[in-house]
Amino acid sequence: MKYIFLFIFLTALCSTPIFAQLKNESELGIAAANGNTKTQTYNFKQMNSYPWEKNNFIFNARYLNAFANSVESARYFNANLRFERALDERFSLFITETFEKDKFAGIYQRLITDVGGKYAITKTEKTKWSAELGYRYMQEERLDGTKISQNYGRAYSEIDRQWNVNFSTKYWLEYLPNFTNSTDYQFNTELSLSVLLTNIFSLKSGFLLRYDNLPAPGIFHKTDTLLTTALVAKF
């Protein structure tokens, strides 16, 4: 219930004139997870962006929590703040700071810094396709008490397609080669479909896959998947 109240509050807040430049996307729905976690639960996701001249400030967060037979079976949290600076119409630079917790993947917390460049391959009214290339530094504290620091490369691409007034799709993929330990690479990808219900609300279904070739000790699955169906408020 508390997530529903938060969802309504953010929708109302971002509709006020003082936040006219603030773009908002609030998502609340049901998730089915398989891999290290197998359960059905509430999934909350939040995205805000604030453009200012050639700059853009972006905030993203996702929270997943579930209990099966009164026993906690899923707990995941991710939040990041990103700053982008446009150099021209197609190319921009970015820096992102991320905080992540994933209990059932053996991760107590992660602190991640990403820096790199973004290039808009296609930028039309119906299609937006971009690619990013950069460097990642990650500090990880695991539930078994071990701490590691690793250096990654980062290759990312995202495409948004507006098929008609009511239907759109989004697909992104991310590859993280590990420069510290070459066997510990990661791959993440997500496909989502959105159907417009009103000017603000839409129904969204998404499938997220996260692959870690060398998970934390004691974790048996390298792949986690998350299937969600959600109500989205976007303005």
pLDDT at position 148: 96
Beta strand 55-68 with 186-196 is unpaired
CB 106 within 8 A of CB 218: yes
Residue 22 has pLDDT above 70, yes or no: yes
* pLDDT at position 9 over 70: no
- Residue 15 token pair: 């509709």
**CATH T-level fold of 2-234:** Porin (2.40.160)
pTM of the predicted model as reported, rounded to 2 decimal places:
0.86
Query: Mapping DSSP to helix (H, G, I), strand (E, B) and coil, where does residue 233 land?
Result: strand
Domain regions of the chain by residue span = 2-234
Return the pLDDT at 56: 96
Taking the CA atoms of the chain, what radius of gyration do you get in angstroms?
Answer: 18
Q: How far apart are CA 182 and CA 196, in angstroms?
A: 43
